[in-house]
Amino acid sequence: DEFISSPPRKTVRFGGTLSEILLKYEKGDTTDFELLKHQLSDPDIKDAQLINWLHEFRASVVYLTKELEQLVNILLKLPWLRRSREVVEEYLGFLGNLVSAQTVHLRPCLRMIVSQFVPPRITIREDDVDISDSDDDDENISENFNTCHRALQTVARYVPSTPQFLMPILVEFFPFINKSERTLECYVHNLLRVTVYLPTLRLQILELIIEKLLKLDVSTPQQDIEDAEETANNCASEEKSPEEGLFDMEEDEDRKGDKVVSASIERMAHPLAERLDILMTILFSYIKDVCHVDGKLDISNTKDLYRDLVSVFDKLILPTHASCHVQYFMFYICSFKLGLAEAFLDHLWKKLQDPNNPPVIRQTAGSYIGSFLARAKFIPIVTVKACLDLLVNWLHKYIDNQDTGANAYCDVALHGPFYSTCQAVFYTLIFRHKQLLDGNLRKGLSYLQSLNFERIVMCQLNPLKICIPSVVNLFAAITRKYQLVFCYTIIERNNRQFIPVVRSGTGGDLVQTCTNPLDSFFPFDPYILKRSKKTIDPMYQFWEELSAEDLEDLKKPIKKGSSEDEDDDFLKGETPQNDGVVGIAPNSYESNTRSPVSSIGSPADCYLPYPL
């Protein structure tokens, strides 16, 4: 206040006062006006001179009408952020006066502020060609961003309608996904900061960010990420010589290199995966910061954010097939409190059982329920049992209604939600059966028997034919071990119904029929982004390798020409010499491909050969 009320210092300048120049311009005398524009556009303009002009402009904003838009644009292009504190304060005062007196300039002001949400670029030109375009390593970048947010808050304080004009500009300025990691990181971070002081925009900003993350996610299939990591690891091992590091005696050099090495280890080899990893880390940090106040969970804040995230989930995530990582924002927020996890499950359950929803949405909701129950460590077994009761009861009612009618036959188009629910139940049992039986085996077995899996498996709709083979075979092995239901007769019959296709009339390789007719996937399959996975891993249930006892107990499914007493090759991770394909498959939605061994974290996947 003291600075603003004090008179500006006298500096060398040309022409009269600003009001005189503008009055002359109105009368047609443009000489001084052009001189003014030239002075303001001068990159070498001194701070004192700039303060002098800004002080005059603050007092003359009434003259800066639509007709003087060109002059206002010059003022908005001034490099004010990298000036002294006095210039910054004067410029903020000018912005406030301008938008309050001439709202016609609101959009240009907002565009100018938002354009500063990314680091400036340094371009080196040589013979009229740009030979370098990199982020400016400005030490004051954080301070500049703080000033930008002060400017935006100043404008919003003077013009209450700022949010509705701001949102389209935030969308327009969002950097393209191929821009540098630093550019994307800064822009997303600044968008999330805007939600703190303009809470009415939070839902729209979260939508915008998650939509961009989703585009990154579906552009980088998990298989591509794993292949890039494998290639990078192979290259690194080839480049490293055997003698390297043997005679590094300087401790200081070692310490200096530690940070570089750890940073390179955390980097993703796939460039788009690297961007996604950084942005997911920011999103997780934001969720944590909003939900916690002074280190303690704030229930009110958490519920409000949960509602916004569920809204974004319904609009963007649920209709998107086979995204790998972005959906984990729901997994993360649900880990804060059991009530949130139960609310999310209830929300998905309502989506699944509502016949007014499109079948594909209902099927995806079933996939989310199964994957969430199986993978979330923070969900207690009591909640798992409650969900299994709901799902299995719904399946039995569905069978009551459909199993004797005209549609009582195996058809994904007719019964997609039913098959998706069956798969969710089977998948949950595979991951949770030990906990369900833990403590009191008799009581646990009695509960599992009460679910009456036999009726579900034996019904005319034949879910074992539709569900993913890896899930079917593990479910069959577990239910046989505990004598809940014997699935292998049905599996054998289903196998005989598949007719192999020959590539050409003269003979050739067999092409197997689709092993995933539901086109289903498990949304919470292992999370593989290196930085952000540190947030997820502590609450994530990985697939536990089967013990020797389990391998002894779980026998091989009946196949043509094989006995029931043979050991199960797929459970041992071996590849039998036959026409079937066996492999470890973390990518459950890619059930017709064999995935690399690096993808530990999901159950072993077995593809039964189809007998000729």
The answer to whether the CB of 71 falls within 8 A of the CB of 37 is yes
Per DSSP, the three-state class of 124 is strand
In one-letter notation, the amino acid at residue 123 is T
507: tokens are: 């003979």
Which pLDDT value is given to residue 332? 97
Which pLDDT value is given to residue 140? 79
47: tokens are: 């701070």
505: Cβ–Cβ under 8 A, 6 or more apart, which residues?
Answer: none
Q: Is the pLDDT of residue 4 over 90?
A: no
Per DSSP, the three-state class of 297 is strand
Residue 355, classified by CB atoms within 10 Å of its CB into exposed (0-12), middle (13-18) or buried (19+), is: exposed
The answer to whether the CB of 558 falls within 8 A of the CB of 552 is no
* Among 325, 312, 356, 541, CA closest to 434: 541
Q: 150-154, 314-318, 485-489 — which is least confidently predicted?
A: 485-489
* Among 147, 82, 140, CA closest to 113: 147
Q: Is the pLDDT of residue 274 over 90?
A: yes
Helix axes 141-158, 181-197, angle to 10 degrees: 40
In one-letter notation, the amino acid at residue 584 is I
Residue 292: count other Cβ atoms within 10 Å of its Cβ.
14
48: Cβ–Cβ under 8 A, 6 or more apart, which residues?
Answer: 8, 9, 11
The answer to whether the CB of 279 falls within 8 A of the CB of 324 is no
> Per-residue pLDDT averaged across 205-227, rounded?
93
Q: Is the pLDDT of residue 583 over 90?
A: no
Which pLDDT value is given to residue 542? 92
Q: Is the pLDDT of residue 255 over 70?
A: no
**What gap in Å lies between CA 392 and CA 114, rounded to an integer?**
52
CA-based Rg of the chain, rounded to a whole angstrom? 32
Q: Whole-prediction pTM value? A: 0.82
308: tokens are: 């916004």
The residue assigned the tokens 């390179």 is: 264
**Which residues are bridge partners to 501 per DSSP?**
511
**What gap in Å lies between CA 51 and CA 281, rounded to an integer?**
41
Q: What's the whole-number average pLDDT of the chain?
A: 81
Q: Is the pLDDT of residue 125 over 80?
A: no
What are the pLDDT digits (tens) for 455-468? 999 988 889 988 99
Residue 252: count other Cβ atoms within 10 Å of its Cβ.
7
More confident residue, 539 or 257: 539
